[in-house]
Amino acid sequence: MADASDSQSNPPVDPAPSGPDGERKLLRLPDLDRLIGLLRARGFRVIGPTVRDATIMLGDIESAAQLPSGWAERVEAGFYRVERRDDAACFAHRTSPESAKRHLFPPAQKLWRADGSEDHPQPVVEDRSTAPRLAFLGLHACDLAAIAVQDKVFMGGAYVDHVYATHRRGALIIAVQCTSSAPTCFCDSMGTGPHLDGGCDLGMTELIEGGEPVYVVHTGSEEGAQLLAGLAPPPASHAQVVAAEQLVAEAAAHQKRRMQTEGIKDLFYQNYENPRWEEVARRCLTCANCTMVCPTCFCANIEDGTDLSGRLAERRRRWDSCYTLDFSYIHGGSVRYSPMSRYRQWLTHKLATWIDQFGTSGCVGCGRCIVWCPVGIDLTEEVAALRMSARAS
């Protein structure tokens, strides 16, 4: 992930992998319920997958009963359905339109207020000190990679973003390794998954035994270890540990889509004027779905407004998208007027300019943009086509 231009595959399967505590533990569904209870007792807001609006979303959960046990997603480019699966797996979601971004970098944030009836209106900053700590349950490797990308955007530069940093620094992450991939996943070729490689407090792998889920758990931090100790779990068997890692390796091996990342920055920099952009622009609706579901997209608008009296001014930040005309508006007109230039901006940013800006690709291979694009535009296909077209010209 550090350098997207040389994609790495996942590390080879270690038959007896060891976390910092040297041993993997075993949890069952009732233990997850206790875990959620423990977190809530410690004041955490627990955010996990749950079925809402016929979609597996990330939302507040109070018990394991709210997990999407027995539900799976059927997805393809431009297609998403939840459907029943024949076991009770809880973490089979891959392409939820929501990600941790919604909670670490909320879609609408109040920044400050100032009362204009005062002689010298003083900004009063939104108090975030009392916001509960967030505990994420069920994030995947690509989600953690996306958080690492946004860490660089919001906390890695000369300025630290206060909203993001507040949520992020308090966050606890219980991640899940993927034991199967969606047809839209390509994390393996981006070097971001499905194997968990740090970045979480606890890491779990879901196995199905007799139709019921069990979890092989490793710890990734001191806080994670303490939490796990509170559940007094038995060790996982050697066979369970091996089975878990085997499934993850198979998930990687079976991924259908791949992104060829070698030399990708130069490919984009040299192909601003490739005719392929016009071709994709004929299909793109500039609806901005891809930017909304993408777990790394960070563009935002800063809006100043007042209440009806015009007295109380408030500054808010709201997710924005490079697909809108307003986004690049300067007096006299928008810089990126054509839909072609806006699609080009998005993909070029994701896969090329992001590397210069933040030392990493802006894409973690989660496939959300492929699934949620109403016309099924697939960025892996676009990159392949751009390569073909570049070679031909």
Partner 1 sequence: MASNAVADPLVSRPWRVKRRIREAHDTFTLEIESRAGESFPFTAGQFNMLHVHGVGEVPISISSNPAETALIRHTTREVGPVTKAMRKLDAGDTIGVRGPMGVGWPIEAIEGRDVVLVAGGIGLAPLRPALYRLIAEREKYGKIVLLYGTRSPQDILFKHELEHWRAQFDLEIHVTVDRAIGTWRGHVGVVTTLIARAPFDPLETVALVCGPEIMMRYTLMELGRRGVRESDMYLSMERNMKCGIGTCGHCQMGPFFVCRDGPVFNYAQIKWLLGKAEV
Ligand X SMILES: Cc1cc2nc3c(=O)[nH]c(=O)nc-3n(C[C@H](O)[C@H](O)[C@H](O)COP(=O)(O)OP(=O)(O)OC[C@H]3O[C@@H](n4cnc5c(N)ncnc54)[C@H](O)[C@@H]3O)c2cc1C
The helix (H) or strand (E) run that includes residue 187 is helix 187-190
Our CB check for ligand X shows the closer of 331 and 391 to be 331
The token pair at 63 is 């018990």
Our CB check for ligand SF4 shows the closer of 44 and 323 to be 323
- 284 lines the binding site for ligand SF4 (CB under 6 A): yes
368 contact choice in partner 1, ligand SF4, ligand X, none (CB below 5 to 8 Å, kind-dependent):
ligand SF4
Nearest-angstrom CA–CA distance, 286 and 373 = 10
SS (H, E, C) 381-392: HHHHHHHHHHHH
- 323 lines the binding site for ligand SF4 (CB under 6 A): yes
**Only segment of 8-16, 28-36, 279-287, 326-334 that touches ligand SF4 (CB under 6 A):** 279-287
**Only segment of 1-9, 41-49, 75-83, 334-342 that touches partner 1 (CB under 8 A):** 334-342
Q: Check: CB of residue 59 under 8 Å from CB of residue 36.
A: no
Q: Would you tell me how many other CB atoms lie within 10 Å of the CB of residue 286?
A: 18
- 333 lines the binding site for ligand X (CB under 6 A): no
The token pair at 332 is 């006299």
Q: Is 259 in a helix, a strand, or coil?
A: coil
- 351 lines the binding site for partner 1 (CB under 8 A): no
The token pair at 70 is 């027995």
Out of 47, 58, 134, 153, name the contact with partner 1 by CB under 8 A.
Answer: 153
- 357 lines the binding site for partner 1 (CB under 8 A): yes
Nearest-angstrom CA–CA distance, 323 and 385 = 21
Nearest-angstrom CA–CA distance, 208 and 244 = 10
**Binding-residue pattern over the window 284 to 323 for partner 1, x denoting contact by CB under 8 A:** --------------xxxxx-xxx---x--x-x-x--x-x-
Q: Is 115 in a helix, a strand, or coil?
A: strand
274 contact choice in ligand X, ligand SF4, partner 1, none (CB below 5 to 8 Å, kind-dependent):
none
373 contact choice in partner 1, ligand X, ligand SF4, none (CB below 5 to 8 Å, kind-dependent):
ligand SF4
Please, what is the minimum distance in Å from the beta carbon of residue 364 to ligand SF4? Answer: 4
- 58 lines the binding site for ligand SF4 (CB under 6 A): no
Q: Check: CB of residue 173 under 8 Å from CB of residue 167.
A: no
The token pair at 73 is 């997603």
How many residues of this chain bind partner 1 (CB under 8 A)? 53
Contact positions toward ligand X, by CB under 6 A? 329-331
